[in-house]
Amino acid sequence: VPLLDAAGVTAFVESVWPGAFEAYEVVDVGDRTARVKLRYHDRMLRPGGTVSGPSLMALADTAMWAAVLGAVGPVAMTVTTHLDIDFLRFVGSHDVVADARLLKLGRRLAVGDVLMTADGASEPCARASLTYSIPPDAAPGAS
Amino acid sequence: VPLLDAAGVTAFVESVWPGAFEAYEVVDVGDRTARVKLRYHDRMLRPGGTVSGPSLMALADTAMWAAVLGAVGPVAMTVTTHLDIDFLRFVGSHDVVADARLLKLGRRLAVGDVLMTADGASEPCARASLTYSIPPDAAPGAS
Amino acid sequence: VPLLDAAGVTAFVESVWPGAFEAYEVVDVGDRTARVKLRYHDRMLRPGGTVSGPSLMALADTAMWAAVLGAVGPVAMTVTTHLDIDFLRFVGSHDVVADARLLKLGRRLAVGDVLMTADGASEPCARASLTYSIPPDAAPGAS
Amino acid sequence: VPLLDAAGVTAFVESVWPGAFEAYEVVDVGDRTARVKLRYHDRMLRPGGTVSGPSLMALADTAMWAAVLGAVGPVAMTVTTHLDIDFLRFVGSHDVVADARLLKLGRRLAVGDVLMTADGASEPCARASLTYSIPPDAAPGAS
């Protein structure tokens, strides 16, 4: 059971960073997992008519942040230290759903990966892996 | 259904690169997936008494290669162009099982990820993502 | 000598994607290199008062794109297939300069890395490596 | 000035891990940099007649380790937590020189990159970036 569920993550982020989740919907937060939807907007397009790379990168970061918040509770200042992303398929002008899972939640680092799929597609449009640095006193868990 | 199953992948690799799979067992090859086991040997240890990073990297590469061979058939000269790996937990002196899945099988590139778990452990010891370049005429498939 | 210099890259991008470089200044394009500056704006901030990760990711992508355009000429539809980024230090509210260099310019793929430094800082704030897919007929060069 | 020079790094590694550098020559250790040479041996070959990916990965790891040891002194148990590598060109059967530079040396993490070039080649055969976890009490230094 996560320390924060989808509503808890959304409320916490809104309290510390109003508007930060304007483009996102936290669909679900589970046991070291989170599902976050990017709501399509024209400003996310790049030439060729597809959601831009930075928009997908920001989505991956947001989904992993939701999973971390669910697991460690309301800690504002986790910091992304590393992101690796493969762009697999064009998205077009669609919402994109990201599924994040934490693979390690240590005292100092959290590592996880994210799979992103455009609304209605059967194959993923991108994958990412991320590392978060967790400030001292924030993590409940073991290494 | 893969073009080569576990026995087919093993036989093909043995025919083109005898001894290459000496340390490995191809446990299963499925639809764009492969499970490969690294059989522990003392020469894989590094100080601290754990299977070395390069051994895990080679395992990830081998598991993804098995998945690619299953999907595209007996093509010797696929080339790894990119590998990203996170080391999550010490392995100790154990076998390690790698589960690879292809996320994209294009005409020119294949992209996938691999989760590795030490024998008997409940949490993964490493994750990796890889890109393979596929030579012209090798890929049967789609985008 | 690049096929497009800084003014040429800027003019080409403005012609195919008006406004795309609004936040950027292409400072220099050399032999398989490019220097691009991100002009700081408050909307790039994230909590903690520093330029956001996605803003740095977009900068890295832009700098590498400038280096690729300089090397292959005015080709609109190169596609970023992979990005790996390490966030090293907080930027604060400053401009950021990115130095990109192409390490390989093949017929199908271009690979390079980018070092980013906040204005006035002595140490880099981020590093990235990227892979671009180059469409057929676009690349002048060898594999 | 590094805390350990090339001879110091070599002697330290030999004392804690005899034989670990059998395949390597630490050519130089500078201010947060190291140059390490992989001495070619037939067992490093893979089909196609080129030095294998895992051999290059191990070289990158070794070169970064040498740079870290130079910067933090004789600390055995630094741990590689992340490695990202792009394979750019075939090596053939040649020695390979790796140039590592530390981009960040924090209290807990060290991040750097490595450029690898086959003996006699003018262009790099691979690039890598790595993250090391530094145990408490090991790091002398700064942020």
Reported as a single tens digit per residue, the pLDDT across B82-94 is 999 999 999 999 9
What is the greatest pairwise CA distance in chain D? 46
- The share of chain D scoring above pLDDT 70, in percent, equals 94
Is residue A83 within 8 angstroms of chain D, CB to CB? no
Residue A89 to residue A86: CA distance in whole angstroms: 9
Question: Partners for D (CB, 8 Å, 3+ pairs)?
Answer: A, B, C
- Counting Cβ atoms within 10 Å, is residue A136 exposed (0-12), middle (13-18) or buried (19+)? exposed
- Choose among A51, A39, A43: nearest CA to A89: A51
The reported pLDDT for the residue numbered A142 is 34
Subunits close to A (at least 3 CB pairs below 8 A): B, C, D
Which among A83, A108, A109, A129 is the top mutation candidate for probing chain D, defined by the most D β-carbons within 10 Å of its own β-carbon?
A109
Is D83 touching C (CB cutoff 8 A)? Answer: no
The DSSP annotation for D5-23 comes to -HHHHHHHHHHHSTTTTTT
Contact A89 B123 (CB under 8 A): no
User: Which among D103, D114, D115 is positioned nearest to D142, based on CA atoms?
Assistant: D103
Is beta strand B79-87 parallel, antiparallel or unpaired with respect to B96-105?
unpaired
Contact by Cβ (8 Å): D80, B54 = no
Q: How far apart are CA B124 and CA C17, in angstroms?
A: 44
Among D108, D131, D133, the residue with its CB nearest the CB of A82 is: D131
What percent of chain A is predicted at pLDDT more than 90? 71
Sign of CA pseudo-dihedral B68, B70, B71, B72: positive
> What residues in chain C have per-residue pLDDT under 70?
76, 137-143
Q: What is the pLDDT of residue C141?
A: 42
CA distance A74 to A2: 11
Nearest to D56 by CA among D112, D127, D113: D127
Mean pLDDT of D76-89: 90
């679900």: which residue's tokens? A28
DSSP secondary structure letter of residue A122: S
In a 3-state reduction of DSSP, which class is residue A120? coil
Q: Region B49-57: what's the mean pLDDT?
A: 91
In the stretch 27-56 of chain D, residues with CB closer than 8 A to chain B read: 46-48, 53-55
Give the model's pLDDT for residue B76: 66
C53 to chain A: which residues are within 8 Å by CB?
A: 57-58, 61, 80, 83
Q: What is the pTM of this model?
A: 0.93
